[in-house]
Structure 1
Amino acid sequence: MRRDRIGPAVTAALPLLSGALWAGFPPPDDGRPGYARQVVGEALGSTAALLFAAALVLATRARWLEGLFGGLDRVYRAHRRAGQCGFALLAGHVAAVPWTGSSPGGTPSGLLAGAGFLVLVLLCAIPTLRYGAWRRSHRLVGVFFVVSLAHALLVDSLVDTAPGPFLLQWAAYGAGIAAYAYTLLVARFVRPRRSYLVRAVRRLDPATVEVVLAPRLRRRLSFRPGQFVFVTLHQRGLREPHPFTVSSAPSEDVLRLTIRSAGRFTSRVHGELEPGRRATVEGGYGMLDHTRGRSRQVWVAGGIGITPFLSWLRSGPGDRSVDLFHAVSRPEDALFRDEIEGHAGEHLRVHHVVTSASGRLTAERIAAVVGPLDGVDVFLCGPEPMTASLAAGFRRLGVPATAIHRELATFR
């Protein structure tokens, strides 16, 4: 198995492992009323705790996780799915387990944990919720996880008499609480971060801005071309850490971020950010790396998705044969057209696509330009509907999934 498939496989296997332990090593029947419902309810509850623990571990942003999932974007996708499945199982636990009210501390703590998780789920469903409010509320996942631990300790549980499920449940609580403590107390001191100053704010068009950051104390952040960073701008209204792909080369003295307005925060960056402000930059993250691909490559960018490819181009010419497609809605959206075409040559062919004039860019259209796709590695960056559609199209044309590389931007 490829290393970047281990993480998703392990995450998917966790509920199966829990179910197998409950089915293979059930607790003995102690004669209580509703024994079968109790077993089903506890199995659902302990599996929910296992998935919440996995979500807390994945939220640590630990560097070793990236290799197991194929990038931090995929780590956060697994984090989201684990949380969603955990809540679904928690709802099943609440519905299945007999509520007797016989545990003075266990019942209220269970209700509090369940209500807390429900509120967090409902908040995530609000489309207009500001990122900062979502981020602050999301920190409470660990609090409600600890409350659920109190619930598990205080109720009269059958799991205590089932060694397999018992060990797995308490291992989950230990890992989840350790991960939450790490994120809350330790991560800020060990994550790679540097202090920068905003040297320039260049508004390229009414919706796009290039932010140029200069390192303080001459300590530059280490990153690979194509990676993204989390940036905290120390200006009122802009202090929330947000991820942005770096568009400069690692060898440059400055860090360049090309940001397109896509919401309240990025719009404020475009309209309000001032030179001279401090910035804290953490990273780099992501595993979109063309140097790991074969000698013949296709790069496809949608709109502002050109940023990792800019970093690759600015890092110097390579010996790979590349066809770069940049799809934009209008001609004026191709902001770096002259620079990109300046890199064109023997090894790089540039194709600009204006979708309002020529229609949607498809894998079939690309294949018609570049020829047979045997031995080609494809790199995609842009809106997820576009990259997902292109990835599916390339697979239909015979490009193996292992040769299609795309960055998932929806977690940002």
Structure 2
Amino acid sequence: MKTYKGMLFIFITMLGSALLWYCATPIETLHELNRLSHIIGGMAITGFFLVFLLATRNKILERWFHGLEHVYKYHKYLAILSLGLVILHSQLQDLVPHGDKGIETPLNELAKKFGELAQYGFIGLIAIALLAKFLKYEHWRYIHRLLLLPYAIGLYHVYFSSKYDLFQVTPLGIFTAITAIIGTMSALYMLTMYQDMRFKHTGNVTGIRKMGASAVELELTLDRKFPYHHGQYIFLKIFQDGLEKAPHPFSISGGDGHKIFVSIKALGDFTKKVNTQIQLQTQVSIEGPYGHLNFDKGYQQQIWIAGGVGITPFISYLQSQPTDREIELFYTFRGENDAIYKIFLQKYAENNKHFKVNFIDTTTMDRLTFDHYSVPVHTSIFLCGPEKMVKYFIKHFKSNSSDIDINYETFKFK
């Protein structure tokens, strides 16, 4: 999947920041280490502006990065890079000879203390964010958004300890002001406005169907038609006592827009409660759609690979119409209870000569591999499932052909 526009946006923004700081004129003569420290610090605060901007789930950025999973990957890497730049900035400041640090005022000294406080805040909160798998999603989400505090403190440090006059209408002053305002507004938007502004499609749970022992399919009837294409996913909020109200991503497994279906497997605390406690007529709201698994844009010949509940985007497409594409599906699951839609897939394969399905139960069979499978030319590969599985197959296929058409979706946003 191509993410060049998104990568170019990051590169130009960070490079532009470095050049503006390098070319700007300081208010007093600076030691070279002090000048380098300012450039590094400026890039750090620009990096955190990008971190907050990428967190807004902006549709333009999603297209530039070709999927939210890529947006969040760069969001994570930028946070780590920016933290590294903050630490490097601090270390360089310590190396500047005391006599070359320039004129110091009480305001400068206070701003430097704020800089230290911002650094410790970034270190602590980013360290917690990187331990996402040990936290409940709701707790991680709120801790993650506390990054606004060290960012605001860091901006104070930048403006009042800098040896550059950032309040002047200069290229550097304008750039710093714009990025500071957009970064702050992006963070405030996600904290206070995102859920009210973006979850405009509301409805109710009008159907509940058990899909084995650990999965459930919900029928959602919406107050107005929800436009999407098959293979996409939504963020879903469920308003029922005892269930977390934070939005969670789920693939759309079917529907006509007025009604949509989502399949939810019990994988964590939230999804386990949904599977056992969800009730009819529960109010819901949705936001989206997201995702780029567009089967119609692939080659006529396609290979589909699904793991567990990752089968849902494929089901959405198959239920929409009889396919005339040459499709071979490899559906891997752990035990029969994990094989949701197995009967549907068997019947579909019996009635459509263009569709072939292979079931791989890892409790009784070897794990799926393509070591002895030759992918024909002009074949599109679509994958959806656990991140580890998807990465493994992407690496395998790309090692055999660098220009292979691979499309995939994973739901890892922590």
- How does the TM-score come out when normalised to structure 1? 0.88
SS of the aligned residue for 1:256 comes to strand
1:180 aligns with 2:176: no
Q: In the aligned structure 2, how far is the partner of 1:164 from the partner of 1:376?
A: 49
1:268 aligns with 2:293: no
Q: In the aligned structure 1, how far is the partner of 2:249 from the partner of 2:19?
A: 39
Question: What is the aligned partner in structure 2 of residue 405 from structure 1?
Answer: 407
Question: What is the aligned partner in structure 2 of residue 108 from structure 1?
Answer: 113
**Are 1:41 and 1:94, in contact at CA under 8 Å, matched by a contact in 2?**
yes
Instruction: Tell which deviates more after alignment, 200-209 or 183-192.
Output: 183-192
Letter in 1 for 2:382: F
Q: In the aligned structure 2, how far is the partner of 1:197 from the partner of 1:350?
A: 34
1:2-13 map, 5 Å = 4-13=3-12
**Are 1:42 and 1:159, in contact at CA under 8 Å, matched by a contact in 2?**
no
Question: What is the aligned partner in structure 1 of residue 51 from structure 2?
Answer: 55
Offset at 1:383? 1.0
**Are 2:231 and 2:314, in contact at CA under 8 Å, matched by a contact in 1?**
yes
**Are 2:304 and 2:329, in contact at CA under 8 Å, matched by a contact in 1?**
yes
Question: What is the aligned partner in structure 1 of residue 161 from structure 2?
Answer: 155
Question: What is the aligned partner in structure 2 of residue 326 from structure 1?
Answer: 331
Question: What is the aligned partner in structure 2 of residue 80 from structure 1?
Answer: 76
Instruction: Tell which deviates more after alignment, 39-48 or 91-100.
Output: 91-100
Q: Deviations 1:40-76 (Å, cap 9, x if unpaired)?
A: 2222211111111111111111111121111122112
**Are 2:48 and 2:183, in contact at CA under 8 Å, matched by a contact in 1?**
yes
Offset at 1:377? 0.6
Question: What is the aligned partner in structure 2 of residue 380 from structure 1?
Answer: 383
Question: What is the aligned partner in structure 2 of residue 119 from structure 1?
Answer: 124
SS of the aligned residue for 2:216 comes to strand
1:66 aligns with 2:69: no
Offset at 1:241? 1.0
| Structure 1 pair 107–323 and aligned structure 2 pair: CA distance change class (3 A) | same
Q: Deviations 1:174-201 (Å, cap 9, x if unpaired)?
A: 3312323443455445436311112233
SS of the aligned residue for 1:246 comes to strand
Offset at 1:234? 0.7
Question: What is the aligned partner in structure 2 of residue 232 from structure 1?
Answer: 237
SS of the aligned residue for 2:39 comes to helix
Letter in 2 for 1:349: K
Q: In the aligned structure 2, how far is the partner of 1:253 from the partner of 1:31?
A: 66
Letter in 2 for 1:64: I
Q: Deviations 1:202-236 (Å, cap 9, x if unpaired)?
A: 33233222222222x4x132221111111111123
Q: In the aligned structure 1, how far is the partner of 2:60 from the partner of 2:162?
A: 38
Offset at 1:384? 1.3
1:248 to 244, 251, 254: 254
Listed as ranges, the gaps of 5+ residues in structure 2 are 95-100
| Structure 1 pair 223–175 and aligned structure 2 pair: CA distance change class (3 A) | same
Q: Deviations 1:144-184 (Å, cap 9, x if unpaired)?
A: 32222222222142475996655543332233123234434
1:352 to 345, 355, 359: 359
Q: In the aligned structure 2, how far is the partner of 1:162 from the partner of 1:18?
A: 16
Letter in 1 for 2:9: V
Q: In the aligned structure 2, how far is the partner of 1:29 from the partner of 1:108?
A: 21
1:288 aligns with 2:293: yes
Q: In the aligned structure 2, how far is the partner of 1:11 from the partner of 1:228?
A: 26
**Are 1:39 and 1:158, in contact at CA under 8 Å, matched by a contact in 2?**
no
1:130 aligns with 2:136: yes
Q: In the aligned structure 2, how far is the partner of 1:113 from the partner of 1:255?
A: 45
SS of the aligned residue for 1:301 comes to strand
Letter in 2 for 1:410: K
- How does the TM-score come out when normalised to structure 2? 0.88
